[in-house]
Amino acid sequence: MTLRALDRVEDFLTAALLAAMTLLTFLQVVLRYAFNSGLVWVLEATVYLFGWLVLVGISNGVRTGSHLAVDVITKHLSPRAQKATALTAIALSLLYVALMLIGSFTLVRRLYAFGNLAHDIPLPRWILLSSLPIGFALLGLRLVQAAMGIARGTAPPAAHGGRDEPARPAAAERGE
């Protein structure tokens, strides 16, 4: 299971979303100062773009191992115990995904039933918020993928994300 095409789609989509958010917010400043006007829908659009960016990006972070985790304890375990704890950690993460998936699916279904539109964007809210169930579903997929790698021994027992130190300086821009 390589999912290469999905990798590329995710990268492209999230990069485009980040660029769009940045340019929209920048445009709003320019409009206010240069033309003394503004677009009402920009803020709301930026929020939903951000939602899609983060929710699609989370699963991407599992693939690239960029989610932080605490390894002070597990790194002292034997390789076999490390494999076992890693698989347990993924199983528990999948429990989290399942619960959040139920919650966000219920939310989207209810919004669909109500059929109300967003404030300033002419789109129904359930479409804009479907980033939630889609994001959690993708996260579940990536976690299963990571678990299979660890179980087969083709990935280190930390493939679900979580080193406490950056492997390379380029990954160092962590936001602290």
What is the contact surface with another protein in residues (CB under 8 A)?
11-12, 14-15, 17-19, 21-23, 25-26, 28-29, 33, 43, 46-47, 50-51, 53-54, 57-58, 60-61, 64, 66-74, 85-86, 88-89, 92-93, 95-96, 99-100, 102-104, 106-107, 110, 129, 132, 158, 160-162, 164-166, 168-176
Find the shortest distance in angstroms from Cβ 154 to another protein.
19
Residues ≥6 apart with Cβ < 8 Å to 54: 135
Token digits of residue 111:
């919004």
Find the shortest distance in angstroms from Cβ 172 to another protein.
4
Select from 25, 41, 62, 64 the least CA-distant residue to 119.
41
Find the shortest distance in angstroms from Cβ 99 to another protein.
5
Identity of the residue, 28 or 148, whose beta carbon is nearer to another protein in the bound complex = 28
User: Angle at the Cα of 41 (from 38 to 43), degrees rounded to 5?
Assistant: 85
Find the shortest distance in angstroms from Cβ 87 to another protein.
10
Residues ≥6 apart with Cβ < 8 Å to 139: 58, 59, 62, 97
DSSP 72: T
